[in-house]
Amino acid sequence: MSAADGSGRRRPPPAEVLGPGALDGLLHTVASLARATVDGTDGVSVSVVRGEGYATATATDDVVRELDAVQYQERSGPCVEAIDTGEQVAVALAEAEARYPRFAASAQQRFMTGVLSTPLTAGHDVLGALNCYSASTERFSAGAADVATQIAGHASVLLANATTLSAATTTNEQLQQALVSRDVIGQAKGILMERQGCSAEDAFDVLRRASQRQNRKLTAVAQDVVDGRAPGGMG
Amino acid sequence: MGQLRTAMAEAGLSIPELWLRYFALGGTATAAQMEAHMDGEEDRAFVVDDDLQHDTLVQALNERFMELHRDDALPYERG
């Protein structure tokens, strides 16, 4: 995480994020993807920096939106902390009463048990946070935290390209496909890096050469690796 | 016109369309940086992983050529 040293500067994302428009749909896609793929997640929101405060750009349900608002009011809670420090924050709510008194109480009244907030960064700037709320898990696993980090990475690149995407007539379906493809390729690179002890660049080269050899799209080749169906010569 | 610009025109893609394909393959630069790279304006282009970003962009174009059943693939920087 580029802002992991805590020196992240707050930077509001493009204005369209907070108003009606293509970008809201785009962030909603990211939130839905996080709810479907981050293990233990029941509700997701995307917080963004607005002036000196914070705002929720999208949420998968109203409870999550309300709990975000409690954090903004108090300027205290995992998503506020993730934005202010530029670092991922995971909390078990039963143990967070001293750290975030009002938020922990409100969230538990709403039957929430754990929260995982991951900052959205562009260079050294913090644009917002991806917040995963759970009503079933107290502690998100390391694997879930990694998936959240990957999705936050996708969201950050999308936010940085908000203007391009608003101008293009990109449908939600195309965007969803692009996100899924990017995710599969990211997973396949991770598998190859671990298996071959190579860099992310080298892993991409392996996938790319296999794609050329087989005359198939890189996403299809990456899906083979993720499914454990990688042919010989790919490690 | 640069080789990448020519290829984009032959692929029938606009900058936003090409950028979305590049993003889907894991590209991390903005559309403006991608465009600057295509025009050889390297001071405004990719900030990190230049070769990887270039090859990701080339892959996006080559996959489009694959869809169009054209087998004249563009060369990669990293071989």
pLDDT tens digits for A167-195? 666 677 788 888 889 989 999 999 999 99
pLDDT at A169: 63
Helices A172-196, A200-214: crossing angle, 10 deg rounding: 110
Name the β-bridge partners of A10. Answer: A126
The pTM score is 0.75
Q: How confident is the model at residue A233 (pLDDT cuts 50, 70, 90)?
A: low
Q: How confident is the model at residue A47 (pLDDT cuts 50, 70, 90)?
A: very high
State whether A186 and B26 contact (CB < 8 Å): yes
Q: Would you say A201 and A194 are in contact if contact means Cβ atoms under 8 Å apart?
A: no
Question: Is B8 inside a domain boundary?
Answer: yes
Check CB contact of A166 with chain B, cutoff 8 Å. Answer: no
Model ipTM over 0.90: yes
Question: Is B57 inside a domain boundary?
Answer: no
Domain around B4 = 1-25
pLDDT at A1: 41
Minimum mean pLDDT among A12-21, A83-92, A182-191: which range? A12-21
Question: Is B45 inside a domain boundary?
Answer: no
Given B28, B31, B59, which is nearest A208 (Cβ)? Answer: B59
State whether B28 and A157 contact (CB < 8 Å): yes
For residues A136-148, average pLDDT: 94
Sequence letter at residue A29: T
Q: CATH code for A174-226?
A: 1.10.10.10
Q: How many domains does chain B have?
A: 1
Q: How confident is the model at residue A20 (pLDDT cuts 50, 70, 90)?
A: very low
> pLDDT by residue (tens digit) across B16-63?
899 999 999 999 888 889 999 999 988 888 877 789 999 999 999 999
Mean pLDDT, chain A, as a whole number?
87
Q: With 60 as the cut, is the pLDDT of residue A18 above it?
A: no
Question: Is B49 inside a domain boundary?
Answer: no
pLDDT at A163: 67
Question: Is B17 inside a domain boundary?
Answer: yes
Question: Is B20 inside a domain boundary?
Answer: yes
**CATH class, range A9-168:** alpha beta
Q: With 60 as the cut, is the pLDDT of residue A106 above it?
A: yes
Domain ranges of chain A: 9-168, 174-226
Question: Is B2 inside a domain boundary?
Answer: yes
Q: With 50 as the cut, is the pLDDT of residue A235 above it?
A: no
CA distance linking residue B47 with residue B67, whole number of Å? 30
H or E element that contains A17: none
pLDDT at A72: 97
Sort out which chain B residues have CB atoms less than 8 A from A182's CB and list them: 23-26
CA distance linking residue B35 with residue B18, whole number of Å? 10
Check CB contact of A187 with chain B, cutoff 8 Å. Answer: no
Same-fold call for A9-168 versus A174-226: no
